[in-house]
Structure 1
Amino acid sequence: MRILRHLLVLLMHLVLGSGAQRFSNGYYYQDIINGNGNDNGEIYFQKIRLHVESPETLVSAVQGSNVTLPCHYRYEPVLSEPRRTRVKWFWQPVSDEGRERDVMVAIGTRHRSYGDFKGRVRLRRSAPGDASLFINPLQSDDTGRYRCEIIDGLEDESVTVHLKFRGVVFPYHSPRGRYLMNFHEAKEACEKQDAHLATFEQLYAAWEEGLDWCNAGWLMDGTAQYPVVVPREACGGTDLAPGVRSYGVRDKSLDRFDAFCFTSSIRGEVYFLQHPIKLNFTEAAEVCQNEGGRIAKVGQLYAAWRFVGLDQCDAGWLADGSVRYPIIQPRMNCGTSEPGVRSFGFPPKHLKHGVYCYKVHW
């Protein structure tokens, strides 16, 4: 039996090598020969486990700002010397379920970023084991599922972090009237207003915050829906409970609705231009340009109202030809009793109003 045990030890040395590491069942095993002098040939296994964790698996941010997606790794038991690990970040956009795209890879101080993330991402590395991803600036389509993968030899572990934008959903219809846009036109209309089509999750969150709107609008998933806080006959009847009503998936080319847009951008300043006289639309656009900016878009006005607290009881032109004004503190002669962005629709462009301008601060 003693001879058989010695032969087994010798065989393992030949296969693994003295002090060699191997991988099995999610662990690294460090083979250690007992050196207590009793020559019993026993082998002890020291398990070294790689853990990858994130204290936040859902991170909210604002478009145009920056964000850090947390990812940390550690070994159990704690190692006396650092190991050479590879860090990889992947991204799965909201609109592309099932397909991951490379964001960046890093080994030591060397790193490489890919695609639209080039020049915008880096690892934070604020402490040993910190592989958090820093993104600056955030672009409109950066939301989705991010996966942090740590690779050490044959072992790899990963953790997922979801990024969403804090923002505001607003209903939008064509200047020509209601229910005139197919899906593609609605998507383009939102983008022209510094926004994009809202997701169902974003519309649902807006409904929870009190958005009540009786006109159906396109969402990013190709459905047409609308949020109702106070049930009424014109909005599906009084027998239905409050909620987000749905027309289901519609034909993106043939069916026509309004749009629900989502904006999360605070990259510039929106302000009401104090001008001695009222202006028509053409004059309004010109004075904003003379100010070193441009006439504000609808999404920019909503973002300023939501994130900066813009409160102005003065109607002003916007870039799409609409006239609106933002109210934080409802008061006499400033519309309804609820906060919001008031709209006068799309009046003839020769009429005189104020104007909201927009400037980017670099």
Structure 2
Amino acid sequence: MSSASSRRRAQGVVRYSLPILVTLLAIAGGLIYRQIRRGSDADQPVQAVVAASGPVVRTTLGTDELLQHAREAMTAHRLLAPAGNNAFEFYLAVLQHSPGNRVAQDALREIFPFAANAAEQTIDAGDDAEAQRQIDLLTRADPGNYTLTLLRAKLQAQRTAAAQSVPPPAAHREPAAPSGKTPAPATPVAPAPSTVVVASAPMAPTRAANTLTPSEQAIAQLHVESTPVEAAPKSAVHVRAPSTMQADASSGSDPVLTHRVAPAYPPEAKRTRRQGWVDVAFTVQADGSVSGASVTDAEPKYVFDRAALSAVSRWQFNPSMQDGKPVAAQMRQRIEFHL
């Protein structure tokens, strides 16, 4: 082979090899750059999440990292606050990544009563905006939970009471008294009390006892002793019969329970071995039906409320009789849940 031919062949090899070499170097450089960026991102999430200013939960975190931050928030009792750095938001972020994640679902279900109690404390503190944020957060976890109805009612009652206590605008105030005359003292106006079904204050007549009619006094004194509810095997519930209702002898006959629906022991409470009681106030109408059932107190809160209200609302009575006619009667019932 001549030297000229060999030289041309070498030039052809170099001409085709150079682009291939450049392409391989570019690919290798791109892979190295991606590895460096991935390692850099892995070092940043913790600082972004646990900053003191309460940042928004980062959606770029993995499921394991979100679960770890959620557990840390629960240990620090950060169930709903601060915004962006609390257990509820971390667990909800987990469900965005993995909708069927059982760890997040079970955790949200178990801490819901405690988070609802924290939201109620925020309402009591008068922080309207924060309370609304927390209720919205609870709604994302369990939109059909009856506790949310109670919390919204309490927040709305607080807003109404606050609105009633605000002084009128300057344009609607009384004109100033003429010079040299002493203006009449203003009569203080007390804010209207908030009436919320979760309030623990006992029912009392709105008028003085000596101004009530005998029938009204009798209705105010009617009550039923507590009813234990026990969780038996096979998820059954046994309820002992209530004690006789007490009233003045002159008030006529008392309401008599004729049909009782036994409260169902909540499965989640049974699984976690939780016990407690619920005080329910309601009205026995003249036709013997129950209306206006509401929780006046409970321990623990929001765990057995729905079961107690659902059962009591379906009870039937022989109504109270006054002067030979059926009349409405106010009743109170404590339902106890025991394992």
Scaled by the length of structure 1, the TM-score of the pair is 0.26
Scaled by the length of structure 2, the TM-score of the pair is 0.27
Structure with more helix by fraction:
2
